[in-house]
C-alpha cells in the first residue's frame, strides 16, 4: 500500500440546479437518468483545505465545470453563461479527501479526457 501524499481528492456530486439543467439533455429512461445524476466524480488536485476551498478550487473550477457539462451536452451555447466558482458551488457538492491510498502494485494508467476544448479548439466556424 502506498499513501498518495501530494494530492487531494475532490469528490463532486451534482446538486438540484445541475440536475434540473441536465434533465433537458437526457435521452435515457428515468431509472438511467436517476443513476447518472447520482454519480460522483473524483478529481485529484494539489493539496487543498476546507478553510480555503474556493481559493484552492479556483484554478481547476472551469475545467471541472466544463467536463461535467460536456458529459450531458456538447453545445456550449446551451451551457449556463455564468460558470463562476460561486455557481459551481451552487450546482455541485464538493467534498475534500486527502487520505488517498493506492493498494495496487501496478502503476496508475492515465488517458486524455475528451472535453469541449479538446474537440472544438481547432474547429473553424462555418
Mean pLDDT of the chain: 88
Which uninterrupted H or E stretch holds 61? helix 53-70
Its pTM stands at 0.83
- On whether the CB atoms of residues 106 and 65 are closer than 8 A, the answer is no
Residues with Cβ within 8 Å of 84's Cβ and at least 6 positions away in sequence, in order, are 61
Range in 2-6, 50-54, 91-95, 116-120 with the lowest mean pLDDT: 116-120
Amino acid at each position: 500500500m502506498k499513501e498518495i501524499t501530494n494530492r487531494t481528492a475532490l469528490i463532486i456530486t451534482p446538486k438540484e440546479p445541475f440536475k434540473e439543467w441536465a434533465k433537458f439533455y437526457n435521452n435515457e429512461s428515468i431509472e438511467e437518468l436517476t443513476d447518472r445524476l447520482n454519480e460522483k466524480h473524483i478529481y485529484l488536485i494539489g493539496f487543498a483545505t476546507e478553510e480555503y476551498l474556493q481559493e484552492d478550487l479556483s484554478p481547476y473550477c472551469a475545467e471541472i465545470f466544463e467536463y461535467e457539462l460536456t458529459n450531458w451536452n456538447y453545445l456550449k451555447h446551451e451551457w449556463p453563461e455564468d460558470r463562476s466558482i460561486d455557481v459551481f458551488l451552487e450546482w455541485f457538492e464538493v467534498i475534500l479527501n486527502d487520505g488517498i491510498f493506492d493498494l495496487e502494485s501496478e502503476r496508475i494508467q492515465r488517458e486524455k479526457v475528451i472535453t469541449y476544448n479538446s474537440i472544438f479548439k481547432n474547429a473553424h466556424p462555418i
